[in-house]
Each structure stands twice: as structure tokens, then as C-alpha cells.
């Protein structure tokens, strides 16, 4: 799978070393954590455990894929958690019409939210962080209004199967995440759209001058991000067996940005690393699981996560300062 | 107004500098209009909402309700004051919600050592978190929203660690003088109202009439120009983030005194409220322009709307964030459309 597309900077050896670390650090970290757990964590090497880890990482991974595209254009989407919550709130409303229509409605609303963000960024010219902040503030409130602030249990067996069943021994949510990762990987590596994302993020004015449809690219990227956030919202609802708009996707923007940045996509754009993003999501999940399995409390897990973010962004910064 | 061949950065720098010094004659009429709308837009809306609420809801104008409104606004106003400084330097501080909650818990914890302990502990720790934010932003040039997102997590983690994973709520014992900071009243109004007013007045003077305030504007308006002029850009950033941490911690301490305990679950999403009210008050998120008075108006507007939603009663309280989000969006779009000719894009 073609995983990266780079506007390669010609650098000194030092830049190349840090660049290498930024690029492959996440693989090393995941491998290191796996080895550590195999050696020191009881009951780590079991199918059930691996399933749990993958299922828990799946929603973050799906959101992070969209976020990677947005960050590749030198943007950011803070509204992903709110979009997940919107999708979750809508699912039970339309379950009466069948499972497929309810999912379609949720996904369409996610797409619309993404288009809305993209419109603000591309056509109105608002900074991404501000444009998506409005939806972050309002989106969850809207979801809670729609759901009357309540948690609604979802009983439709066909819908719950999404969260509980396997296909060929792989949980459906993990399968969805994997398929989406491949699709996004192909999109970035093999299509004109992917090349344009990287170009727009690398140098927006040059892309405009070169006649690229910069605005349409931005619109598309935010639309995809919104759509994927809605997918994650549906998956999370299916797994929980209930629509919980107050809680679904809380702080998801943070987890997704972390996964992307840890995976080697710089916040300054111009580069999208899809496989790195997937591993970044896995890494954050593994860190959390490792701490929990060794009976370290949630508070410590949060502080460690904070430290990882700072270190990862610090490393990424070295490479991008030209 | 300027030759179109001027590089954008320089153009922006010139525009921002002229904004930073209000007396500059270089302002065009359009800029003036934009400035007036930015600053007074929220005030006009506030007056309209106040008038409507006064007429429509008999209970709104009651002394009790207004007293409550002022008290509730004072906690957010103190946080938003720090946020105003940070945003004017072109940064953002997402950690204030967690730091606010942490400040409350630390104040309740420190109250066992008397008034000074209850005040010094949260200020020291929260100030330190702000200082670290500032140093990371200023010295390593990492994106402010990432640095402060990390400290959002860190502060919440620290809070959980000292409260036994959120299970312990420290109480402030009834006789403590510290309680006066939140529950005391002077001339019928709560002490936090006076404190918030005093802090905002001091902040306004600091921003408008001191050398430090000028370098805050210059840093956000055109960082490279500020550097070239020899302004202490890094130090300015470190100070504003420290200030933001201190103020959030202080607001948390006041809240703890008001609630008589260090509640662990407060402050989630408060950073969004603070950012919204600052932006609604006319401070540009791109940095370089803003006022403390605007922020105070933004806080009042937010809380008056919330109060009205509560008065209606049948309305879901979640409409509050929908209204906030919509208002934020409207303000940003208006700001953008007014700024468009100036930014030359």
C-alpha cells in the first residue's frame, strides 16, 4: 500500500535523522510496547485481548484517517467529536425505517457537517481552527437537543450486530476501519485528489498559482473528515448498544489529532501518512491498555498521554522548521 | 490603498500595526467601521437581549436574578480575561477549563492551612502550568492549541490523581475565612463580582496603557515585525500564558469558596465558553486586536441568554451551546467579511 506522498525537502543529515525518527518512530514505539507487554503483562497474548484492543482503537482510527487528510492540507478539524455525537443522536430516530436508512441519515448529516466546515474554510476564508470550533461548541448541544439529553438504548439486532458480530473472525468495526484505511491510503497515494491534498498543504499559494482547484480540495477534505467522524459515531453507538450523545466522542478531536501527529503527519501540512496514522491510533490505545493492565490509574494515563503529545509534536517540529 | 505588489505579510504587518496604535491616522474609513462593528456589535446585541428579557420575563429584572447573573458571570469573566490576552497575542489556551477545576480542588485542599494556603496553592500550581504552556509555546514554537490541549489532559489527570480518581471531594470547613471569597457579599453583591470587576479593570489598563500591553498587541499583530523592533516577544507570550493559568486557577478558587468544596467535575468545556465570549466580544482570533471590555460584554451576553433560556423553562438547556455556537459563527463570518479587503485575499 502506498502510504506516503511527500513534498520532499532536501535536508542536512540532522534533519534527515529527526525526519527518520518522525517517520518511523511510531513503528518502533508500537513494536517496543508490544514486546514489553508480551514480556511483562499477564494474559496479554490472547486472541480475546487483541480483539479488545483493536475494537477499542477502531473509532479513533476511523476519525484519525479523516483528520490526517485535513491536517495534510495544513488545517485541523476540532468538530469531529461533536459530529460523532450528532450521528449517534440521529441513529435511534430513524431506526423505525430500518437499519440501513438510519445509518445513511447519520452519515449524510456527518457529510453535511463536513461540507459546512469545508465551506467556511475554503470559501469564506476562516481559519480552520475557528471554523470548526463553532461546530464543536454547537454540535453536541444540537445532538443533545435532538435526543432530549437522554441516553437511548438501541435494540435493533441488525444494528447491534455491527458492534458485536464478526466476519471471518474479525470484529465488524475493525474490518470497517481496515477497509477505510486502505481506501484512504489509495486515495492519498494513487489519485489526483491525493496529490492535490499534499500540494495544497505544502504550499497553498503555489497550488493556487498552478491552477489547482484549491477550494474544492479543501471542501472535499473536510467533507470526508465529517463523513468518517459520522462512521465512527455509528460504530461507537453500535458497540455501546445505546445512543449516548452526551458522552460519545468526547475529546475525540484530541485523540485523533494525537494519533495523526504521532503517526508522522506534521501539523504544518504537505504530507499525509496513512499507515502511520493507523499505528498512531493503535499506539495510543496500547499505551492506555498497558497502563491500565499494570494497575496505574486513569489519572496517570492522562498525564502520560499529555507527555506523549508534547514529545511527538516536538519531534515533528524539528523536521518541519525550515 | 496599498500597491498590490506589496508582499502579503508586510501588508498585514502594516495593517496590524495601524490597528495596534489606535491613534494612527492611517486608518481608512472601512477599517474604522469594521472596528466599531467589532467592538460595539456585541454591546448592541446585549442591550437588545436585555431589553427583550426585561419586558418578556417579569422575573428577569428582579434583584435576586440580577444578583445571580452578576455572580455567575464573574467566574467566567476572570477566565476569559486571561484568554483575551492569550488570543490577542495570536495564541489560544485550551487548558483553562481543566486548570479552573484543578484550581478549585487545590483551593479546597489547601484550605486546611488557612486562608493563605487556600489561595496560594492553586495560584502556584496553576501559574506553573501556565508558565510551562508559555515556555513551550514561546521557546519551542509548537502550536499553542497542541501545547494547551496536552496541558488540558495533564491538569485533568493531576486533578484526578489528587482526588483519588475523582472519588474524594475536599470540603472547606464552615468557619474558614476563605469562604468569604466566594460567598461573602458587599452592598448586596457577591465578593466575586467585585474581584472580577477589579481584575478586568486592571487587565484593561494593563492592555491599553502599559508597555507590556503594547507588546501583547504587537506580538499578535505582526510577530516578525515585533521581533525586528526588538520587542520581547517570547517573554510576552510566557507572561500571557502564565497570566491565563493564574486567572483560571483564581476563578477556580473563587468557585470552590462559593461551593464550599472542590468539585471535581466542573470546568469541562469551559475553555470553549471562554474562547466564545472573547471572540463574541470582538477580539480577533488571528491576534493583534481586542478589548477587555468586549470580553466582559461577551460574558454578560452569554449568561443573559442562558438566563433567558432557563426562564423560558420549556426550552432544553442544551440550546445554550447551540446559540453560543451559532453566535460564534456569525461573529467570525462578519469579522472575516469586514477584514477581507484588508487581508487582500
Cβ of B161 within 8 Å of Cβ of A299? The answer is yes
Q: Residue A15, SS3?
A: helix
More confident: A317 or B53: B53
CATH architecture classification, A12-39+52-320 = Orthogonal Bundle (1.10)
Burial class (CB in 10 A: 0-12, 13-18, 19+), A169: exposed
Across the interface, which of A144, A298, A313 has its CB nearest the CB of B160? A298
- Is B148 within 8 Å of chain A by CB? no
Query: What mean pLDDT, rounded, does chain B reach?
Result: 83
Contact residues, chain B, for A134 at CB < 8 Å = 325-326, 328-329, 332
B312 and chain A in contact, CB less than 8 A = no
pLDDT at B39: 61
Q: How confident is the model at residue B343 (pLDDT cuts 50, 70, 90)?
A: very low
Mean pLDDT of the residues in chain A: 85
pTM: 0.82
Write out pLDDT tens, residues B325-340. Answer: 888 888 788 777 776 5
Closest by Cβ to A137, choosing from B143, B276, B317: B276
Alpha-carbon distance values, A183 to A114, A186, A265 (Å): 18, 5, 18
What integer pLDDT is reported at residue A258 of this predicted model? 86
All structural domains of chain A with their residue ranges: 12-39+52-320
* Rounded Cα–Cα distance for residues B289 and B232 (Å): 18
Average pLDDT value for residue range A302-317: 80
Closest residue in A to B270 (Cα) is A137
Residue range A132-179, pLDDT digits in tens? 988 988 888 899 888 887 888 888 888 888 888 888 888 889 999 999
A300 contact B CB<8A: yes
B262-297: pLDDT as tens digits: 888 888 888 888 998 998 888 888 888 889 999 999
A6 three-class SS: strand
- Whether residue B305 lies within 8 A of chain A, CB to CB, comes out as no
pLDDT bucket at B34, cuts 50 / 70 / 90: low
pLDDT at B151 exceeding the cut of 80 = yes
Question: Could you give the domains of chain B?
Answer: 41-52+63-339 (1.10.3470)
Nearest-Cα distance to chain A for B145, in Å, is 9
Inter-axis angle of helices A214-240 and A192-202, to 10 degrees? 110
Give the residue with greater pLDDT, A15 vs B246. Answer: B246
pLDDT at B216 over 90: yes
User: Which candidate from B143, B157, B318 shows the least CB-CB separation from A300?
Assistant: B157
B340 to chain A: closest CA residue: A125
pLDDT at residue B166, rounded to an integer? 79
* Cα end-to-end span (Å), chain B: 14
A314 contact residues in B (CB cutoff 8 A): 140, 142
Asked whether the beta carbons of A88 and A248 are under 8 A apart, the reply is yes
Contact B345 A125 (CB under 8 A): yes
Which residue among A76, A144, A313 sits closest to B142, beta carbon to beta carbon?
A313
Q: How far apart are CA B146 and CA A317, in angstroms?
A: 12
- Arithmetic mean of pLDDT, B219-245: 91
The confidence score (pLDDT) of residue A13 equals: 57
Residues of A in contact with B319 (CB under 8 A): 141, 145
Helices B191-209 and B211-221: crossing angle, nearest 10°? Answer: 70
Whether the predicted pLDDT of A207 surpasses 60: yes
| Chain-chain contact of B149 with A254 (C-beta, under 8 angstroms) | yes
In sequence order, what are the residues at sequence separation of 6 or more whose Cβ sits closer than 8 angstroms to the Cβ of residue A132? A76, A77, A78, A79, A117, A121
**ipTM over 0.90 threshold:** no
What pLDDT sits at residue B30?
65
Amino acid at each position: 500500500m502506498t502510504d506516503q506522498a511527500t513534498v520532499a525537502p532536501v535536508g542536512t543529515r540532522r534533519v534527515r535523522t529527526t525526519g527518520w525518527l518522525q517517520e518511523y518512530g511510531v513503528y518502533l514505539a508500537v513494536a517496543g510496547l508490544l514486546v514489553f507487554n508480551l514480556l511483562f503483562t499477564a494474559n496479554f497474548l490472547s486472541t480475546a485481548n487483541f480483539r479488545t484492543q483493536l475494537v477499542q482503537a477502531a473509532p479513533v482510527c476511523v476519525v484519525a484517517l479523516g483528520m490526517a487528510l485535513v491536517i495534510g492540507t495544513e488545517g485541523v478539524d476540532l468538530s469531529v467529536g461533536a459530529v460523532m455525537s450528532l450521528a449517534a443522536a440521529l441513529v435511534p430516530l430513524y431506526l423505525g425505517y430500518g437499519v440501513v436508512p438510519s445509518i445513511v441519515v447519520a452519515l449524510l448529516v456527518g457529510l453535511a457537517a463536513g461540507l459546512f466546515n469545508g465551506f467556511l474554510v475554503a470559501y469564506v476564508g476562516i481559519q480552520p481552527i475557528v471554523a470548526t470550533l463553532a461546530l464543536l461548541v454547537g454540535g453536541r448541544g444540537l445532538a443533545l437537543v435532538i435526543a432530549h439529553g437522554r441516553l437511548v438504548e438501541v435494540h435493533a439486532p441488525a444494528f447491534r450486530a455491527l458492534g458485536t458480530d464478526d466476519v471471518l473472525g474479525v470484529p465488524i468495526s475493525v474490518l470497517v476501519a481496515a477497509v477505510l484505511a486502505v481506501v484512504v491510503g489509495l486515495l492519498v497515494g494513487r489519485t489526483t485528489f491525493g496529490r492535490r491534498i499534499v500540494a495544497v498543504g505544502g504550499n497553498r499559494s503555489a497550488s493556487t498559482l498552478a491552477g489547482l482547484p484549491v477550494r474544492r480540495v479543501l471542501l472535499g477534505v473536510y467533507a470526508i473528515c465529517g463523513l468518517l467522524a459520522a462512521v465512527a459515531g455509528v460504530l461507537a453507538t453500535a458497540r455501546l448498544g445505546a445512543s449516548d450523545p452526551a458522552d460519545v466522542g468526547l475529546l475525540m478531536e484530541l485523540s485523533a489529532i494525537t494519533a495523526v501527529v504521532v503517526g508522522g503527519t506534521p501539523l504544518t501540512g504537505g504530507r499525509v501518512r496513512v499507515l502511520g496514522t493507523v499505528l498512531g491510533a493503535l499506539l495510543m490505545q496500547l499505551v492506555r491498555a498497558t497502563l491500565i493492565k499494570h494497575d496505574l490509574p486513569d489519572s496517570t494515563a492522562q498525564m502520560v498521554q499529555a507527555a506523549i503529545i508534547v514529545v511527538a509534536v516536538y519531534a515533528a517540529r524539528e523536521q518541519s522548521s525550515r | 490603498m496599498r500597491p498590490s505588489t506589496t508582499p502579503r505579510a508586510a501588508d498585514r504587518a502594516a495593517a496590524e500595526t495601524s490597528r495596534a496604535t489606535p491613534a494612527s491616522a492611517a486608518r481608512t474609513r472601512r477599517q474604522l467601521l469594521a472596528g466599531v462593528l467589532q467592538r460595539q456589535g456585541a454591546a448592541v446585541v446585549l442591550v437588545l437581549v436585555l431589553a427583550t428579557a426585561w419586558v418578556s420575563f417579569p422575573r428577569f429584572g428582579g434583584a435576586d436574578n440580577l444578583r445571580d447573573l452578576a455572580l455567575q458571570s464573574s467566574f467566567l469573566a476572570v477566565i476569559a480575561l486571561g484568554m483575551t490576552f492569550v488570543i490577542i497575542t495570536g495564541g489560544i489556551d485550551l487548558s483553562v477549563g481543566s486548570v479552573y477545576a484543578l484550581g478549585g480542588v487545590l483551593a479546597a485542599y489547601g484550605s486546611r492551612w488557612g486562608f493563605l494556603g487556600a489561595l496560594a496553592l492553586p495560584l502556584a500550581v496553576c501559574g506553573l502550568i501556565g508558565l510551562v504552556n508559555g515556555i513551550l509555546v514561546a521557546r519551542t514554537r509548537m502550536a499553542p492549541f497542541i501545547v494547551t490541549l496536552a496541558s488540558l489532559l495533564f491538569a485533568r489527570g493531576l486533578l484526578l490523581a489528587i482526588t483519588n480518581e475523582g472519588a474524594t471531594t475536599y470540603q472547606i470547613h464552615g468557619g474558614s475565612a476563605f469562604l468569604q471569597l466566594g460567598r461573602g457579599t458587599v452592598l448586596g453583591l457577591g465578593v466575586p463580582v467585585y474581584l472580577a470587576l477589579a481584575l478586568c479593570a486592571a487587565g484593561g489598563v494593563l492592555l491599553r496603557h502599559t508597555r507590556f500591553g503594547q507588546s501583547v498587541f504587537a506580538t499578535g499583530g505582526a510577530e516578525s515585525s515585533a521581533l525586528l523592533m526588538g520587542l520581547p516577544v517570547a517573554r510576552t507570550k510566557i507572561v500571557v500564558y502564565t497570566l491565563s493559568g493564574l486567572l483560571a486557577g483564581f476563578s477556580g478558587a473563587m468557585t470552590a469558596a462559593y461551593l464550599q468544596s472542590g468539585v471535581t467535575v466542573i470546568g469541562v468545556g469551559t475553555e470553549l465558553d471562554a474562547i466564545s465570549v472573547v471572540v463574541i466580544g470582538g477580539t480577533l482570533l488571528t491576534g493583534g486586536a481586542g478589548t477587555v471590555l468586549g470580553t466582559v460584554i461577551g460574558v454578560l451576553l452569554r449568561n443573559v441568554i442562558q438566563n433567558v433560556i432557563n426562564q423560558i423553562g420549556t426550552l432544553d438547556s442544551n440550546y445554550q451551546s447551540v446559540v453560543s455556537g451559532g453566535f460564534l459563527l456569525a461573529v467570525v463570518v462578519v469579522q472575516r467579511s469586514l477584514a477581507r479587503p484588508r487581508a487582500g485575499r
